[in-house]
Structure 1
Amino acid sequence: MTPLGPRDTSQGRHESPEERADRRWNELLQEVRVIQTGVQILFAFLLTVVFTPRFVTLGQTDKAIYVVTVLLGAATTGALVGTVTFHRLVTGHRLKPETVLWASRLAVLGIVLLLATVASALLLILRIALHNSVVPWVVAGLVAWFVICWFALPAWILHRYSSKD
């Protein structure tokens, strides 16, 4: 017997479209607050690397990976901060449901960019630390793990429980 899903045990919420948009906005804001802290720490660390004595000893490939990583970190920050600025700029124009939709899309884009940033940072760090050909495979394995945790599992749960009516 399959366990009951949330739709099997609840009649759902009785809320207006505006109340739903407010609730979804608050949930999104909390999620962005959690992820943004980690992104800010990662980005700050990346910005300092170029000023270390070891940076000048890196080869061209490692410097190129570093530049790509910093650019990905900046793009990640832009997308995640964009969720808040999007809301701020359209507040008061009675577009809350649309704002939540587009801010959610920016947040997902930020998560995808975060995945690329972390993968790029791991590639750089492991190349420097290990100096061997296993590094791309380790990074690929970790990227696969992130994809499973961040995207595949939620998609599977959504499919599993929303397909039952």
Structure 2
Amino acid sequence: MNASKNKCDDQPTEHGDDGRRETATERADRRWTELIQEVRVAQTGVQILFGFLLTVVFTPHFQELGDTDRTIYIVTVILGSATTGALIGPVSFHRIVAGRRIKPQAVAWASRLTFLGLILLLGTLTSALLLVLRVATDDDLVPWLVAGVVSWYVLFWFALPFWARYRHTSAE
């Protein structure tokens, strides 16, 4: 970057309808702090779930699982691992690029990794729920229960935020 670009970026500017006057650097710092707080919430749940999943294979009941349930288990563990990687990715990304004066770009990439992590978390929870309900019951209701819970997640994790985003940005 050239010096004139840095000067422009460090000038306070109006940012959106919230009336904030912050530089690009301040905005990137604020967005990074907000993102890391969000990631902490998701990481904790994923790490607990993934840790539990890793122990299942060592239980006596695991040997009794049929081929379909073992396949669901393997898919669940792989999804859990991928979710963990995506949600820890922003921390690694930040650590590797820290001090390189690219925080706005780092925030954008970390945000993408977090969103990917949420999508993978949806897959992990779906497959874990499917496995648990299949093992707990042989009921034909299992796919419907899983579909209902997944719909609940999709509604509150994605549909509602996208609706609010659309509603409030299209009015401007």
2:104 maps to amino acid: P
Mapped partners of 1:95, 1:75: distance in 2: 26
Mapped partners of 1:58, 1:133: distance in 2: 18
1:94 maps to amino acid: R
Matched, 1:26 2:33: yes
Unaligned runs of 5+ in 1: 1-6
Please state whether the residue corresponding to 2:100 is helix, strand or coil.
coil
1:139 maps to amino acid: V
Matched, 1:77 2:84: yes
Identity of aligned pairs, percent?
63
Q: Counterpart of 1:123?
A: 130
The alignment's C-alpha RMSD in Å is 1.0
Please state whether the residue corresponding to 1:93 is helix, strand or coil.
coil
Unaligned runs of 5+ in 2: 1-15
Mapped partners of 1:82, 1:37: distance in 2: 14
Number of aligned residue pairs: 157
Mapped partners of 1:86, 1:137: distance in 2: 39
The change in CA–CA distance for 1:139 and 1:11 in structure 2 (over 3 A counts) is closer
4+ residue runs over 4 A deviation: none
Q: TM-score, normalised by structure 2?
A: 0.89
- Report the alpha carbon displacement of residue 20 of structure 1 after superposing the two structures with TM: 0.2
Pair member with larger Rg = 2
Please state whether the residue corresponding to 1:100 is helix, strand or coil.
helix
1:162 maps to amino acid: T
Matched, 1:101 2:105: no
Mapped partners of 1:139, 1:12: distance in 2: 43
Q: Counterpart of 1:162?
A: 169
RCO comparison, higher one (Cα < 8 Å, 6+): 1
